[in-house]
Amino acid sequence: MPNIVPNKNNYRTLLSYQKAESIYDITFFFTSNFLEKGNRTIDQMVQAARSGKQNIVEGYGAGATSKETELKLMDVAKNSLKELLCDYEDYLRVRNLRQWESDSKEFVKAQQLGKEHNESAFWRELIRTRNAETVANLAIILLNQCDYLLYRYIQKISERFVNEGGFREKLTYQRKIARNSK
- In sequence order, which residues have a C-beta less than 8 Å from that of residue 175 and are 6 or more positions away? none
- Residue pair 29/124 in contact (Cβ under 8 Å)? The answer is yes
The mean pLDDT of 157-172, rounded to a whole number, is: 68
Please give the distance of CA 64 from its chain centroid, rounded to a whole number.
19
Give the model confidence (pLDDT) of 60-117 as tens digits.
Answer: 988 877 788 899 999 999 999 999 999 999 999 999 999 999 999 999 999 999 999 9
pTM of the model: 0.86
Q: What is the mean pLDDT of residues 12-23?
A: 96
Low-confidence winner among 26-30, 59-63, 89-93, 142-146 (lowest mean pLDDT): 59-63
At 12, the amino acid letter reads: R
Kindly write down the DSSP assignment for every residue of 105-137, as one continuous string.
Answer: HHHHHHHHHHHH---HHHHHHHHTT--HHHHHH
Q: Which residues of 37-61 are buried (b: 16+ CB within 10 A; e: fewer)?
A: eeeeebeebbebbbbbbbbbbbbbb
* Other C-beta atoms lying within 10 Å of the C-beta of residue 30: 24
